[in-house]
Amino acid sequence: LVTFFIPDSWISIGDIDVEYFNKMNVHYFTPYYVDYSQDRTVFFITNFIEKFQSFPEISRFSYQGYDITKYFIELMIHDFDSSKVDFTPLALGFDFYKYEHGGFENQKVRLLQIKDYKIEEVK
């Protein structure tokens, strides 16, 4: 079995048929992933559409903005003790590195695959 690693930008190329990727063992790295099968994602989408009259898009950072805001509010509530934060993001799993002189950087990247015509996260 051969595994192909492709740039995530290829997924959005209009000329490439999904059937093409589905036949191969395609994987790609991405800093984000939204599982549209989860109830909380459907709830977020419904509320977003009602409020903004448009669909939340990854390219417009709708999910990331929500996740980042919710994560840091939870941190503030718990005096920045991340062990007390019970948070399941819609799009991002965080792994923040704290710099000695201030600031944080997310170190996590996800590996996704196309399988049975769906995009799935490789655990």
Per residue in 17-53, pLDDT (tens digit) is 667 777 777 777 776 677 788 898 899 889 989 988 8
Give the Cβ contact number of residue 44 at 10 Å.
Answer: 19
Distance CA 112, CA 123 (A): 9
pTM exceeds 0.95, yes or no: no
3-state SS assignment for residue 3: strand
Minimal CA–CA distance to 23: which of 47, 1, 53? 1
Residue that wins the pLDDT comparison between 103 and 92: 103
Q: What is the residue type of 23? A: K
Q: Is the separation of the CB atoms in 18 and 102 below 8 Å?
A: no
Minimal CA–CA distance to 27: which of 44, 10, 14? 10
